[in-house]
Chains A and B, each alone.
Chain A
Amino acid sequence: MAMEPYDTFEYDVLVVGAGGAGLRAVIAAREAGCSVGVVCKSLLGKAHTVMAEGGVAAALSNMRNPDGGSEGDSWKTHFADTLKGGAYLNNWRTVEIFAKEAPERVLELEQYGAVFDRTPEGLIAQRPFGGHKYRRLNHVGDRTGLELIRTMQDKAVGVGMNIHMEVTLTRLLMDGDRVIGAFGYYRETGRFVIFKAKAVVLATGGWGRMYMYTSNSWEGTGDGLMMGYEAGAELLDMEMIQFHPTGMIWPPGMRGILVTEGVRGEGGFLKNSKGERFMFTPEYTPERYKGQFAETPEEGMKWLDDKKANRRPPELLPRDEVARAIYKEILAGRGTEHGGVYLDVSHRGADYIKRKLPSMYEQFHELGDIDITKQPMEVFPTIHYTMGGIKTEPETCSTTVKGLFAAGEVAAGLHGANRLGGNSLSDIIVFGKRAGEGAAQFALNHSHGTLDAAQLDDEIDLLLSPLESTRGENPYTVHTELQETMQKNAMIARTEEGLKEALAKVLELQERAVHLKVEGDRCYNPGWHAARDVRFMLKASEIIVRCALDRKESRGAQWRLDYPDKDDAYWGKHNLIASDNGGEVKVEPRRLPEMPEELKQVLAEQG
Chain B
Amino acid sequence: METITLSVFRGDAAGGVFQTYEVPVTPGMVILDAIHYIQKNLDTTVACRWNCKAAKCGSCSAEVNGKPRLMCKTRVEDLKEDAKKAPIRVMPMRAFPIIKDLVTDVSWNYRTASKIPPLVPKADAAGKPFVMQQVDVDRVQEFRKCIECFLCQDVCHVIREHDRKDAFFGPRQMVRIAALEMHPIDDLNRREQLDAEGGIGMCNITKCCTEVCPEHIHITDNAIIPLKERVADTYFDPLRGLLTKLGVMKRDAIKQPFESVESNLTKIVQPTPTAMK
Interface, chain A (partner B; CB < 8 A): 5, 7, 9, 37, 42-48, 50-51, 107, 110-113, 115, 117-118, 121-124, 140-141, 143, 145-147, 150, 154-167, 186, 188-191, 217-219, 250-254, 256-258, 359, 362-363, 366-369, 474, 476, 480, 518-527, 530
Contact = CB atoms under 8 A, between A and B. Distances in A.
A253 B26 contact: yes
Interface in B54-103: 54-59, 72-73, 75, 77, 99-101, 103
Interface string B45-57: 1111111111111
A197 to B, nearest CB: 14
Given A112-B118, A251-B27, A522-B276, 19 more contacts: A43-B59, A45-B57, A50-B51, A113-B180, A115-B140, A115-B183, A140-B141, A146-B144, A150-B148, A157-B118, A161-B266, A186-B271, A189-B271, A217-B53, A252-B27, A518-B44, A520-B44, A523-B277, A524-B103
Contacts of B132: 115, 118, 122
13 contacts: A7-B271, A115-B179, A122-B133, A123-B131, A146-B144, A157-B266, A161-B267, A258-B54, A367-B72, A476-B40, A480-B40, A519-B44, A523-B277
A143 B217 CA distance: 15
A121 B265 CA distance: 37
B119 interface: yes
Contact of A527 (B39, B53, B73, B110): B39
Contact of A367 (B30, B117, B144, B277): B30
B44 A257 contact: no
B275 interface: yes
B274 interface: yes
Interface in B142-172: 144-148
B141 A46 contact: no
B157 to A, nearest CB: 24
B51 A217 contact: yes
A112 B119 contact: yes
> 8 closest Cβ contacts across the A-B interface?
A251-B28, A160-B265, A527-B44, A253-B28, A113-B119, A520-B45, A190-B276, A186-B271
Given A51-B56, A190-B275, A367-B30, A42 B44 contact: no
Which residue among B114, B119, B268 has the maximum number of chain A CB atoms within 10 Å of its CB?
Answer: B119
Nearest to A192: B276
Interface of B: 12, 26-30, 33, 39-40, 43-59, 72-73, 75, 77, 99-101, 103, 106-107, 110, 113-114, 116-119, 121, 126-127, 129-134, 137, 140-141, 144-148, 179-180, 183, 263, 265-269, 271-277
A191 B271 contact: yes
B183 A46 contact: no
A257 B269 CA distance: 33
Contacts of A157: 113-114, 118, 265-266
A50 B57 contact: yes
A524 B99 contact: yes
Nearest to B132: A122
